[in-house]
Structure 1
């Protein structure tokens, strides 16, 4: 079982989250908790750096989509950068790439 590290760097009304490891059914609650804390602090401009994400399943993807919807309802955004591998493929196949402000696959 791989772990997930969620590194958070706060800036003004936003934050940068760096994901390291696997985002799956077991680890998605860690990301969800970090995102909920940021939202409670009023941080609605979120960038998720997935460059060191090794795996993402549907639970992880749903956590990202769910938070994108939450911040969008409060005039915010959740953008993904460094997307590659499984996450890139899933975003493209499902059409969810567009859900992340049209910049889901920004290179770092």
Structure 2
């Protein structure tokens, strides 16, 4: 098992969570705890997955559960940098479709002022 790095960056009205390493059953709990803490303050979260080398179904379900909790609190969770195993999971898993991905670069303006551009299917690298 390889570790998971979680770095958070607070912006005006939202938080960016940058993930690196592997997100799987064995190391998802630190992410669950971090996202729960963030949801208490800011229910608008952007998860940058560009640094993930691996994500299994447990990791996907962790993101889906957080997205549902964020929406219940009037916010949302968006994914950026989706590629590799996570992209494949989102494509083949019907339950993953409600987790929106964001096309293009992250900008505070896109989160604060206008709707996010959603990708219908993440690019698979």
TM superposition score normalised by structure 1: 0.89
Aligned to 2:16: 16
Q: Compute the displacement of 1:107 (Å).
A: 4.1
Q: Compute the displacement of 1:94 (Å).
A: 0.9
Q: Compute the displacement of 1:74 (Å).
A: 1.6
**Aligned Cα RMSD in Å?**
1.4
The answer to whether the 8 A contact 1:83-1:106 is kept is no
List gaps (5 residues or longer) in structure 1.
Answer: none
Secondary structure at 2:82 match in 1: coil
List gaps (5 residues or longer) in structure 2.
Answer: 106-125
Q: How many corresponding residue pairs?
A: 105
Alignment partners' CA distance in 2, 1:68 and 1:57:
17
Please list, as runs of the form range in 1=range in 2, the aligned pairs for 1:17-56 lying within 5 A after superposition.
17-41=17-41, 43-56=42-55
> Structure 1 residues 107, 13: closer, same or farther in 2, change over 3 A?
closer
TM-superposition CA deviations, 1:3-25 (whole Å, max 9, x none): 00000001233200000000001
TM-superposition CA deviations, 1:13-58 (whole Å, max 9, x none): 32000000000011110110110110122x1110000001000111
TM superposition score normalised by structure 2: 0.78
Alignment partners' CA distance in 2, 1:32 and 1:82:
20
